[in-house]
Structure formats: C-alpha cells, structure tokens
Structure 1
Amino acid sequence: MSLVVGGCSSRAPVEVQALPSKGYVKVDSTQVTGLINRLYTQSGPNFSWMSLENVIRHNLQYLSRRPANEIAARYGQFEISWEMLRRTNEDFLQILPLLESSPELLSENFVWYELTPRTLLTGYYEPYLEASLVPDPEYPYPLYSIPADMKKLDLGKFHHRWKGQTLLYRTENGEAVPYYDREDIDFKGALQGQGLEIAWVKDRVDIFMLQVQGSGRLVLPDGSIKHVLYAGKNGLKYVSLGKELIERGILSKEGMSMQKIRAYFKENPQMIQELLVTNPSYVFFRLDDEGPFGSMACPLTPMASIATDTSVIPHGSLALLTTRIPVQGQDTREAVAKIVMAQDRGGAIKDTRVDLFCGSGPEAEFLAGHLTSWSHVYFPVSRAYLDELKDQ
C-alpha cells in the first residue's frame, strides 16, 4: 500500500510506502464511493451543502494569509502544504451548488486519504454561566483577564529544535519561575487586587468547566448575554479531572461525563478544592459581544468546526468524519457522516484526536459531555492540484 505525498508546489508527489501505524493512506475508488454514499445518507435530514459556504470562506480567508509554498504539517511521510489546503478549499467551494444532485463530483475532483491510526472523537460546547459584570455577594468567583506579570519567551530563538515553542513564566526575586497555578489563583488569591476581574460567577465548578471548554456565555442578572472567550493560559500542564476521578476510584470509566462530575461535586462539595487543584493549568478570558471564535480567529460553526492537533490536521483543513454519536434519552448511538473543518485547537488535543464543537444549550451540553467515540477522518486533496504537480 502506498500514498502520494503532496509537498511544496515546486516538486511533484513521491510514491512511498505507507506507515500503517501513522500517516495518511490513500483510499481506493470503491471505498470512496461508499464514503460518499454514507455522507449523503448520514449527514442529517436538515443538512444543506450551501450551509458550508461561509465556513469554507473562513478557511480561505485564513489560508490566503499563509505562505503558499511552506509546509503546514508533516504526519508520517505525508506533507500538507498551505497551497494544497487553499486549492482544496477553493475547489470544494466551487462545486458546492452542484453537490445536491451530483455527488460523484466528490470523487472526480478530489483524491481522498484516511488518517491513521483511527481518531478518538470528543466534543466541546459553549456552557452558560450565571454571572455579573460588577462585584456582587451572590457571584463570589472571579473570571480573570491575562495578568500583566505573565511573560512569554520564544524558545525558538535559542535553539532550532524548539521552534514554535514558548515558555510562560513570571519573575520572583529576579529569577524566572513557573506562573501561578490553579491553587495559587483560585484558593490562595494570587491575582486579587490587580484589577484583572472581568466578571464574577455563582459557581466555582462552572468556571472550571468553562476553562475546559475554552469559551462560553455569561447570563447576566438582567437576562442579557455576554460572550466570554479564551484569551490565554498559564502554560502549566493540563491534567484531566475525569482521569483523576477514575484513578481515585471515585467514578467509573464507563459512562464518564461532565454531568456525572457535576453531580459528584453537588453531593460532595467538600471535595471541590482538593480535586480541582489536581489540574494546575489555568485559562484567562476576555469579554465580547460575538463568539465563539476558534484559534483560527473565525467564528466556530456547531457540528462543523473541529479542534485538532495542527501538526497532524492543520488549520483550514477540510475533512470527512464518520462516527457514531450518543442520542439523548436513548441507550443507542447514531451513525453520522459529515464534512468538518479544522478551525480550532486545544491543549488536550494531541495526535489524531479530534474535538467536535457541538454548539451551545442543553443538547450541545449533553452531546459534548457524552461524546467519546472511535471515529475515522478522511482528508480530500484537490485532484487538479496533484495533476499540476505531476506536470512540473
């Protein structure tokens, strides 16, 4: 089995042996036909191809600012250039109005590759938090903006192996030390009195869940809504609370969800501090009238935008996702196939794992809280682009 490695536009594809454990493997025509059939039957009764138009245009706005001939990602022996991504999005946008009646265009216009190994699909959403923009005894827990004393160091300036890596720190007695962790900030008052509060929330667990999701909506006392968006983090390691609860034997791995974690804290409030501080990572926020936005700085689209490890699936990538998702109120999972866009990233999203943005509201909370499914991701590449490379 082999795959075509698409590189910079200055050289043609090279045939190499596929690495079965890591890479993008070319999908044969028979399997592509089956995937397209699944896409048309499992994309949902209300799906419209033209609903993807604005999402793809967001991709193209981002990709137009990237250097065409540079490599966006290398995974296994497969190279993805920014030009490859741009051409693929342009070709997809062009055929959108025709796809309702001509599904064969997905095979005629694109070469498809499967991401291996398979994908662990999880979900995230926009939680709602009861909050106030002014201090109020009913809202005792603050949300913080990025502290001025948190400094950033570009490690790539010191060694080429550290290119793209940064170090977040503060200084103490003239020495660089790690920035304050969750225990310092939430339980020892490390940031109090600095004017960093942007809002105050009723429930401390809500803040923790907001930090895991990355953005949310504040429901203010007058009923109005304010978006609260990710602004930065303290640079310390993210530790999964769910994993901690499982390892302690508090909750079982089977059926682990955000809802079960919330229920446990409601019954055991004395454990909140002890368990929350096991995750030293801390997220800072900003307020906005619009949102949510992914790390690609474009609006996230429910059930279409995904967060990825960008060294595997770069920003601006189109993909076909096949999976099974839980159905609320039923002990079953529904087969789903859909086109998704890599428009966000997350600190816990590594390798082939994908996080699906589920939207906001109770249904999104249920899906994000229960979605853990082994899935498959298929990556289209413009056939015209590959043909041009061969002719060079």
Structure 2
Amino acid sequence: MMADIAAAEPTYTILDFKDLDGWERDDHIAALRVFQNTCPDLDAPDWRTLCAAAPSFGDAKKFFELLFKPVLIEDGVDMKFTGYFEPELQGSRVPTARYRFPVYAKPPEVRLGQRWLSRREIEDSKALEGRGLEIAWVDDSVELFFLQIQGSGRIKLSDGSAIRVGYGGANGHPYRSIGTELVRRGTYQPHQVSAQVIQNWVNRNPVDGAELLRHNPSYVFFRRVDQVPADKGPLGAMNRSITTMRSVAVDPAYTPLGAPVWVEKDGADPIRRLMIAQDTGSAIKGAQRADIFFGTGDEAGRKAGRLRDPGRMIVLLPIQRAYSLLPEAVL
C-alpha cells in the first residue's frame, strides 16, 4: 500500500495527446457519451461552451484533441488506482430470521460536519432501533458493511423487485480500513487482502469478526434512489448515473468533477482508457489517486477488490484553463 506521505504543492505539466499511451486505440465515442451525461451540470463558462459544442462534432476523438489539453497534475505522491462497484445484496422489506441486519436512513439529529455516535456506540446503544429508519433488512452483516464503504447499492427482494439505495449521510467519524487492520495483526499479507477474503474471515470468526467491523468507527446512512432506472448505474457525486469502466472517482481538490481523465493503469491487467471524473470517495485523496467503477454485482466486486495498481492519470482541461495553471515564467 502507498505510504502516508504529506502531499506537496501540486505541479502541472501540459502534455500532447501523442504522449498518452494508447490514446489512438480507445473508443472515444463511448467516452464522449459519458462526458455528455454530466457536462450540462458544469457551471463554468468554458466547460459550458465545450458541452454545447459536443453534439456538433462528428469525430469524438477530434473533439477532445481540439478543445482540451492533457494536464499531468502531481503532488509528490505516487499514483494509486483502486476499484469500486455497486453491491447487490439479498434483502427484505420486513425483518425475518434470515434478514436481520437493517439498512438505516439518517436520523434527523445527525448533522453534516458534526461527529455523532461511533459504529460501536450505535450498535451498543441501539440508538437507531424502533425509530422507523429502516429502509430494508439484509442477510449478511459483512455485505452491509461493504455497502457502507461503497456508498450505494441494490437490495434484491424475494419477489424479484429491488430497492436501490444511495449515500444519505454519515456519523462524522473517519474511515479506518479493516483490511489494513488484518495486515497489522499479521493475519494476512497486504497482497492477500480483498473484500472476499475479509468476508470469509468474518464469517469463519463471527465474534472476532463483529469486533473487527467495529474497528471502523465510520457509519454510513442511506436514502432510497427510486428515480434511477434498473439499467442505469448508481448515482455518483454529480447526482447522475455513473458508467461501468468509464466513470472514475477522484479528489475534486485536484481534478474537477465532470472532467475527462486519461487513465494509464499498470499492473497485471493494464488499462488505457478515457474516463470521466464523476464521483468522489472518502479514501480518494490526492492528485494521483483514483477509484475506477467496475459495475454492479459480485463479479464486479471481485474485480474491483483486486485492484491496487500504479500508473498515472492525466486530466483533460479546456485549453485556456490548462495554460492558466502554469507559472508565469513558463508561459
């Protein structure tokens, strides 16, 4: 895992499209479609101009090449790509012997930016029980825990219908990785840890497993997301559906939401693809940090859970905006 290094002031390097490994081979039409899903929500005049121009371009590749500049933004910390997905849990609208783990909506006393009860305190005090905050009940506490980490998901009901839930707030405590905790204890080596490994360990050790989950004091609440069709991806940070292998979560302190980003992920299964920065995440911090969306369900979860790879990410910015980032001495 990447060491905790204090990020330096960001640096900006303008590149040419010929510097992007694999650029010529990508499906630029697919990337443009995803860009158009969220570009109408961008407020800045330069972004609005580009968005308005997009439908008139017959050549998607030329659209990006003529109206954008690739910018490598670095903060002194090595690139780290991870993956995320939309979990699909088995659940019920009412509690049963099988479905006994509630998915809660946010209680009204929880305020943005304020710290409330920790995960341990919520469970010990039963502070959420009997208040009508239950959206549904699911059958696996670990899958519910990972649903909280992912921030959205689907709950498949026995009658064949489904409830889609999205992020509804949190208790204000920092996220702590239980995978990192298992490594610290010597239970696993870093390369062995995945969501499936953690789930299997908790299920084999129910008492110690419940205590392990409490190592993360953060607790996420949900809201129903009934307006998103079943064939669309979950809502991202821009309140629009995200797209499998074309949407990426970034740190908006460095990368504008809605911006195209060129992904050069190395490792066992290299990726060279134009994606769109349409989401964020509590663990996604830094200029060279990104979380690739792998889709919905168990297979997407397995692929996302294995991803811990280096590489680099290049942001595509409107031309004048890109040049405005350079020091005056460079211009």
1:237-256 alignment, distance < 5 Å: 237-256=174-193
Q: Higher strand share goes to which structure?
A: 1
Shift of the 92–255 alpha-carbon distance from structure 1 to 2, 3 Å rule, reads farther
| Residue aligned with 1:130, SS | strand
Deviation, structure 1 residue 55:
2.1
Deviation, structure 1 residue 385:
6.9
Conserved 8 A contact 2:236-2:278: yes
Q: Which residue of 1 aligns with 2:329?
A: none
1:15-94 alignment, distance < 5 Å: 22-27=10-15, 29=16, 32-35=17-20, 38-41=22-25, 43=26, 48-63=27-42, 66=43, 68=44, 83-90=45-52, 94=56
Deviation, structure 1 residue 274:
1.3
Task: From 340, 356, 360, give the equivalent of 2:292.
Answer: 356
Q: Does 1:295 align with 2:204?
A: no
Unmatched 5+ residue regions in structure 2? Answer: 1-6, 325-331
Q: Which moved more, 1:207-216 or 1:131-140?
A: 131-140
Give, in whole Å, the separation in 2 of the partners of 1:387 and 1:24: 9
Conserved 8 A contact 1:132-1:201: yes
Give, in whole Å, the separation in 2 of the partners of 1:59 and 1:216: 20
Task: From 137, 150, 162, give the equivalent of 1:225.
Answer: 162
Give the alignment's Cα RMSD to 1 decimal: 2.6
Shift of the 137–355 alpha-carbon distance from structure 1 to 2, 3 Å rule, reads same
Q: Which residue of 2 aligns with 1:112?
A: 70
Q: Does 1:144 align with 2:123?
A: no
Conserved 8 A contact 2:105-2:223: yes
Q: Deviations over 1:326-348 (max 9, x none)?
A: xxxxxxx2222111111111111
Q: Give 2:165's aligned amino acid.
A: V
Q: Give 2:272's aligned amino acid.
A: A
Task: From 190, 201, 225, give the equivalent of 2:138.
Answer: 201
Deviation, structure 1 residue 88:
4.8
Q: Which residue of 2 aligns with 1:334?
A: 269
Q: Which residue of 2 aligns with 1:128?
A: 88
Task: From 234, 249, 252, give the equivalent of 1:307.
Answer: 249
The structure with the larger Rg is: 1
| Residue aligned with 2:269, SS | strand
Task: From 245, 259, 267, give the equivalent of 2:196.
Answer: 259
Q: TM-score, normalised by structure 1?
A: 0.73
Deviation, structure 1 residue 94:
4.7
Q: Does 1:182 align with 2:119?
A: yes
| Residue aligned with 1:231, SS | strand
Q: Deviations over 1:142-185 (max 9, x none)?
A: 01001012234xxxxxxxxxxxxxx22xxxxxxxxx41111122
Give, in whole Å, the separation in 2 of the partners of 1:191 and 1:218: 20
Q: Quote the sequence identity (%).
A: 33
Give, in whole Å, the separation in 2 of the partners of 1:124 and 1:385: 30
Q: Give 1:146's aligned amino acid.
A: K
Q: Give 1:231's aligned amino acid.
A: G
Q: TM-score, normalised by structure 2?
A: 0.85
Give, in whole Å, the separation in 1 of the partners of 2:63 and 2:108: 52
Q: Deviations over 1:182-230 (max 9, x none)?
A: 1122343111111111110111111101001111111111222221211
Task: From 292, 310, 315, give the equivalent of 1:379.
Answer: 315
Q: Deviations over 1:273-293 (max 9, x none)?
A: 211111111100112332510
Give, in whole Å, the separation in 2 of the partners of 1:146 and 1:133: 17
Q: Which moved more, 1:234-243 or 1:103-112?
A: 103-112
Q: Deviations over 1:71-108 (max 9, x none)?
A: xxxxxxxxxxxx4444455556654x314xxx566444
Deviation, structure 1 residue 382:
3.0
Give, in whole Å, the separation in 1 of the partners of 2:32 and 2:66: 20
| Residue aligned with 1:369, SS | helix
Task: From 236, 240, 264, give the equivalent of 1:322.
Answer: 264
Give, in whole Å, the separation in 1 of the partners of 2:323 and 2:295: 38
Shift of the 231–274 alpha-carbon distance from structure 1 to 2, 3 Å rule, reads same
Deviation, structure 1 residue 21:
6.8
Shift of the 91–338 alpha-carbon distance from structure 1 to 2, 3 Å rule, reads farther
Give, in whole Å, the separation in 1 of the partners of 2:309 and 2:47: 27
Give, in whole Å, the separation in 1 of the partners of 2:255 and 2:131: 39
Deviation, structure 1 residue 269:
1.7
Conserved 8 A contact 1:246-1:252: yes
Give, in whole Å, the separation in 1 of the partners of 2:304 and 2:129: 33
Count of aligned pairs between the two proteins: 311
Give, in whole Å, the separation in 1 of the partners of 2:195 and 2:62: 41
